[in-house]
Amino acid sequence: MPMIDDPNGGRSVKEWIGKTPDSVPPPTVRARIFLRANGICHISQRAIGAGEKWELEHIKPLSLGGENRESNLRPALVDPHRAKSADENALREKADRVRAKHLGVYPKSKAPIRSRGFAATRDGVERRKR
The mean pLDDT of 3-17, rounded to a whole number, is 82
pLDDT tens for each residue of 52-69:
999 999 999 888 889 999
**Ranges of H-type helices in 47-106:** 78-103
Rounded CA separation 37/15 (Å): 16
pTM, 2 dp: 0.69
Among residues 81, 4, 88, which one has the least CA distance to residue 46? 81
pLDDT tens for each residue of 14-27:
999 999 999 999 99
